Amino acid sequence: MKNSFEKFFRLQYIMMAISFAFGIISIWRKDYHFLLILSCYALAFSFIFEGIGYYVRNQPTILFNHLIRAILLIVLATYLFIKI
């Protein structure tokens, strides 16, 4: 039987792969700025899913660390996207 936290870590890996793919495409095609912000958002969701996985494993302090990282990444990426 699989543990309940494994689905969150699987979602984390999926979001990291999506972030990587969007990042590579946005670097390769320089006019796709929206993919760059989607890459940052996918990375932020990856942090959130990893934090939830640790929360399910009864490690709530790691959840709060990852939530703070995700919020800062979303705010910074949005600010930079608006400035571009």
Residue pair 39/77 in contact (Cβ under 8 Å)? The answer is: no
Q: Would the pLDDT of 5 be above 60? A: yes
Q: Would the pLDDT of 18 be above 90? A: yes
Neighbours of 44 (CB within 10 A): 23
Which string of DSSP letters, residue by residue, matches 18-34?
HHHHHHHHHHHSTT-HH
**Could you tell me the residue ranges of all domains in the chain?**
15-83
Note the pLDDT tens digit of each residue in 58-77: 998 999 999 999 999 999 99
Burial class (CB in 10 A: 0-12, 13-18, 19+), 23: middle
Question: In terms of pTM, does the model score above 0.85?
Answer: yes
Q: Would the pLDDT of 1 be above 60? A: no
Q: What is the rounded distance in angstroms from the CA atom of residue 67 to the CA atom of residue 80?
A: 20
